[in-house]
Chains A and B, each alone.
Chain A
Amino acid sequence: DARVTQTPRHKVTEMGQEVTMRCQPILGHNTVFWYRQTMMQGLELLAYFRNRAPLDDSGMPKDRFSAEMPDATLATLKIQPSEPRDSAVYFCASGRLAGGEQYFGPGTRLTVT
């Protein structure tokens, strides 16, 4: 049963620290998405990739967030420096088509104190 995996599942860090979240998309999926979910803002698209190339990162604060796909089996989302307002659940999702069905990972719950 193919699944998207994310690590870590939970992360507590202090303000100013660097945070790196990792995602392994489903094998064969060429589109990867990063979302952030909070009670106030709902589910926000931060960035997405097709065939490892970034297509849209307009939802991401550029000064502190960066997203990459070093290879087809790994996507990373980095926050440096982290701030308390970054506290949220970060989901990675993958799919065969950018506008098609998306498979979500279990999420990384980030708390920045």
Chain B
Amino acid sequence: GQQVMQIPQYQHVQEGEDFTTYCNSSTTLSNIQWYKQRPGGHPVFLIQLVKSGEVKKQKRLTFQFGEAKKNSSLHITATQTTDVGTYFCAGNTGFQKLVFGTGTRLLVSP
């Protein structure tokens, strides 16, 4: 079945450093979504990318969808302690359900 892997599994940065998580699918995706889950919380939708090569920005967060629509990345510039949490990508192959990635847990030290 379809698999969606994320790397790294875990990253610990100092506040102000940049952070990037990468998402790779075993199959071509019709779209990809990103979610953030704070410790003890639930996943919260951040963004959806649909087009090949698409880049979207939300303040300090930059999301990219690969040209082949099989990979994606989330980059956070100048991390803050409020960025702490686990970031999940979720891929849609067009079979009407999302497959969530393995997640990247981000820890930010002040």
Binding site for B on A (CB under 8 A): 33, 35, 42-43, 45, 48, 50, 55-56, 91, 93, 97-107
Contact = CB atoms under 8 A, between A and B. Distances in A.
Nearest to A104: B42
Contacts of B59: none
17 contacts: A35-B100, A42-B102, A42-B103, A43-B88, A43-B100, A45-B98, A45-B100, A50-B96, A91-B43, A93-B43, A99-B92, A99-B97, A99-B98, A102-B90, A102-B98, A104-B43, A106-B42
A101 B42 contact: no
Nearest to A4: B42
A107 B39 CA distance: 13
A91 B42 contact: yes
Nearest to B94: A99
Interface centre among A50, A56, A99, A102 (most CB of B within 10 A): A99
A82 B34 CA distance: 32
Interface string B29-69: 01101000000011111001000000000000000000000
Interface centre among B31, B88, B96 (most CB of A within 10 A): B96
A43 B30 CA distance: 20
